[in-house]
Amino acid sequence: MNSVTPFSNQASKTDLYRQICEQLQQLIGGERDFIANAANTAALLFHSLQDVSWVGCYLRQGEDLVVGPFQGKPACSRIPVGRGVCGSAAESEETVIVPNVSEFPGHIACDPASASEIVVPLLNWGKLIGVLDIDSASLNRFDEDDQEGLESVAAILLASQPTDDLPDLSQTAID
């Protein structure tokens, strides 16, 4: 049975993400099912990162993002691409860091306690298949070190199975 190794609170963010990436590789490297790997990625991050209230994936279905494996309180089921923080990251295909969600136009408040957020697009050979979304109840929780670490996490998740095992997201291309 897999377990999450507790990481040192003294570790720098860079070290913490290095440890998370090593553990994620061990956790999902032998499994090819995308949903299983996304679920374990969300659980590992939720229990490894301090001060986060929600961690999960939204997976693209045509012009929508549909909630996938996550840890945290129940969340919005469906977000149109282009709306909210998740939809903006999906549309731009760039990581979006929001220091204060109340100042982000169109922010979708699934959890009123959420104060800051980071969303990393999941790109499979250039095609958007979803986003990795992390919320915090603290303002300014996420910075460029989180972006770098979480983009590495996303790369490990995407690399853990062959492209033809990924969810069929081919209904509509976003150009």
Give the count of residues interacting with ligand SME (CB under 6 A).
15
| Nearest Cα to Cα of residue 24 among 40, 9, 11, 36 | 40
Residue 86 within binding range of ligand SME, rule CB under 6 A: yes
Whether 57 and 130 have beta carbons less than 8 Å apart is answered as yes
Candidates 30-38, 76-84, 142-150, 164-172 — which segment interacts with ligand SME by CB under 6 A?
A: 76-84
CB atoms within 10 A of CB 149: 22
Name the residue nearer to ligand SME (CB basis): 27 or 86: 86
Over the window 100 to 139, marking each residue x when it contacts ligand SME by CB under 6 A and - when it does not, the resulting string is -------xx-x---x--x---------------x-x----
Name the residue nearer to ligand SME (CB basis): 107 or 141: 107
Name the residue nearer to ligand SME (CB basis): 26 or 140: 140
Candidates 27-35, 39-47, 71-79, 139-147 — which segment interacts with ligand SME by CB under 6 A?
A: 71-79
Residue 94, by phi and psi: left (phi above 0), alpha (psi -120 to 50) or beta? beta
CB of 171 to ligand SME, least distance (A): 21
Burial class (CB in 10 A: 0-12, 13-18, 19+), 112: exposed
CA distance 40 to 43: 5
| Given 54, 60, 64, 116, the residue binding ligand SME (CB under 6 A) | 54
CA distance 100 to 85: 11
Output the six-digit token pair for 83: 């709306």
| Contact positions vs ligand SME (CB under 6 A) | 54, 75-76, 79, 84-87, 107-108, 110, 114, 117, 133, 135
